Amino acid sequence: MLARATHRLETSPLRWLLPLAVLGLVVLGWDLVVRLNDLPPYILPGPLRVLDTLVADRDVLLGSLMVTLRTTLIALAMAAVGGAALALLFASARIVEFSLFPIAIILQVTPLIAIAPLMLIYLSTDTAVLTCAWIVAFFPILSNTTLGLNSVDANLRDLFRLSGAGRLQTLRLLQLPTALPYFLGGLRIAGGLALVGAVVGEIAAGSAGQGSGLAFRIVESAYRLNIPRMFAALLLISLAGILIYAGLSLVSWLLLRRWHESALGRGN
Piece in contact with other proteins (CB under 8 A), picked from 26-34, 139-147, 153-161, 182-190: 153-161
Is 3 a binder of other proteins (CB under 8 A)? Answer: no
Question: What whole-number distance in Å separates Cα of residue 131 and Cα of residue 207?
Answer: 18
Q: Does 260 participate in binding other proteins (rule CB under 8 A)?
A: yes
Q: Among 138, 160, 182, 216, indicate the residue that binds other proteins (CB under 8 A).
A: 160
Counting contacts by CB under 8 A, is residue 158 touching other proteins? yes
Binding of other proteins by 169 (CB under 8 A): yes
Phi first, then psi: give them for residue 196, nearest 5 degrees: -60, -45
Under the binding rule (CB under 8 A), the answer on residue 156 touching other proteins is yes
How many Cβ atoms from other residues are within 10 Å of residue 243's Cβ? 13
Does 168 contact other proteins by CB under 8 A?
yes
Alpha helices in 57-124 (DSSP H): 58-92, 94-109, 112-122
Contacts with other proteins in 88-147 (CB under 8 A)? none
d(CA 183, CA 87): 10
Residue 265 contacts other proteins per CB under 8 A:
no
- Is residue 164 at the binding interface for other proteins, with CB under 8 A as the rule? yes
DSSP-H helix ranges across the chain? 2-11, 14-37, 47-56, 58-92, 94-109, 112-122, 125-149, 154-162, 167-170, 176-206, 214-223, 227-256
Which of 121, 155, 224, 267 touches other proteins by CB under 8 A? Answer: 155
Nearer to other proteins, 10 or 153 (CB): 153
Which window, 20-28, 64-72, 236-244, 259-267, contacts other proteins (CB under 8 A)?
Answer: 259-267
Q: Which of 177, 207, 208, 242 binds other proteins (CB under 8 A)?
A: 177
Minimal distance, residue 164 CB to other proteins, in Å: 4
Size of the chain, expressed as the number of residues it contains: 268
Question: Which of 143, 142, 121, 145 minimizes the C-alpha distance to 131?
Answer: 121
Among residues 1 and 163, whose Cβ is nearest to other proteins?
Answer: 163
Distance in angstroms (rounded) separating the CA atoms of residues 248 and 115: 28
